[in-house]
Amino acid sequence: MDFPEGFLWGASTAAHQIEGGNVNSDWWQREWGHLPGAPVETPSGDAADSYHRYPEDMALLAGAGLGTYRFSIEWARIEPEDGWISRAAIDHYRRMVATARELGLEPMITLHHFTNPVWFAREGGWHADAAADRFARYVEAALPVLDGVDLVCTINEPNMVSVLADPEVGFPSIGLPPGVPAVTDRLVDAHKRAVDIVRAAGARAGWSVATQAYQPEPGAEAVAAEYGRSREDVFLDAARGDDWIGVQAYTRTKIGADGPLPIPDDAERTLTGWEYFPPAVGDGIRNAWARAAVPVYVTENGMATADDSRRIDYTRGALEAVASCIAEGADVRGYLHWSLLDNYEWGSYRPTFGLIAWDRETFERRPKPSLAWLGEVARANALR
């Protein structure tokens, strides 16, 4: 299976999940009990210390043969207090971009990956009427980081931000809560304003959506369509007219007459408890391509497992689905694996998604066979 010329191969990370010491973010404050929220098993702490070790991490990625690194910049570091911009943080992320370039990596920058400055959260976060204004101000301040960067993701998984925006709703045992309409509207507004700012600076802008591969049982097509509307489709529709759309896929959700169905008892599960289903990325690509009608990048896809051979099997299956979508006519331009490193999975270090492991005491990096395998695929630009 050959992939198109110029197809991007790489891996993704998120600042809070690997940097460590993100003390001015709302997630850090929740982890330590200073903001309301569900208790966590383990706080993020030093994470993978990639704030300091990013040159080594990028070198491992480039050395394996992969050419693109998607990473996020941290709003809470750049604007730790309302209206005050840290020049040191801007310079840090500029050095990251420069390091990627020196190593021959194409940097894809994510401006918002779940975490917010604690001052933003205390003033209502995405529930506040001023949210889009505050985000646009941050994007303007971050423009020096984007100098020479081609691909910029405004907001990571805005649909997950919306479905988790009402803590009183709670998280159902099966499926996801519906999106919060007012939060969705503010996210779409913030995204569109960020797209204008980023385009004016010379980059191509889009956002990434967590596609759920909603698969209706016979007769439940209307139920699945309604279920997916606030949880996925409105965010794909909002990407019409963007430069690209990111698809992030891991598993599927089967829908019956009454809504989401439980995972069968005999199904293989990953360390996150999700069903092992590599073709999910194909469902996500098809829905994104049909609704947004802009070029598609797979900005996240992977498997939480302690068995690296299963990670390779999963990725092979996912890439077969990507290739099938391309053969059907979808304009898919890249595949970025989640994640470059084992990371902090929002409360725990147990789910391991990384192509690279690391020692929790010494931070020594330990590349896994899957990194070399994916690098070989990238060098060949083909799945053999």
Give, rounded to a whole angstrom, the gap between the first and last alpha carbons of the chain. 7
Number of helical (H) and strand (E) elements in the chain, helices listed first: 14, 13
User: Measured in whole angstroms, how far is the alpha carbon of residue 303 from the centre of its chain?
Assistant: 13
Check: CB of residue 328 under 8 Å from CB of residue 44: no
Q: Which of 31, 74, 106, 157 is catalytic?
A: 157
Residue 154 half-sphere exposure, CB side, CA atoms within 13 Å?
31
Q: What's the full length of the chain, in residues?
A: 384
> What Å distances lie between residue 287 and 214, 255, 296, CA to CA?
10, 16, 11
Side chain identity at residue 221, one-letter code: E
Distance CA(318)–CA(309), nearest Å, equals: 14
C-alpha distances in Å from residue 87, one per residue of 4, 80, 96, 140, 216: 40, 11, 14, 13, 50
Catalytic annotation present for 56: no
Q: Which of 346, 36, 30 is nearest to 166 (CA)?
A: 36
Q: Which residues contact 160 (CB under 8 A, 6 or more apart)?
A: 114, 210
Name the phi and psi angles at 298, rounded to 5.
Answer: -80, 105
The whole-angstrom separation of Cα 103 and Cα 303 is 27
Unique residue bearing structure tokens 């990639």: 50
Contacts of residue 68, Cβ cutoff 8 Å, sequence gap at least 6: 8, 9, 10, 11, 105, 106, 107, 108, 334, 336
The set of catalytic residues is 157
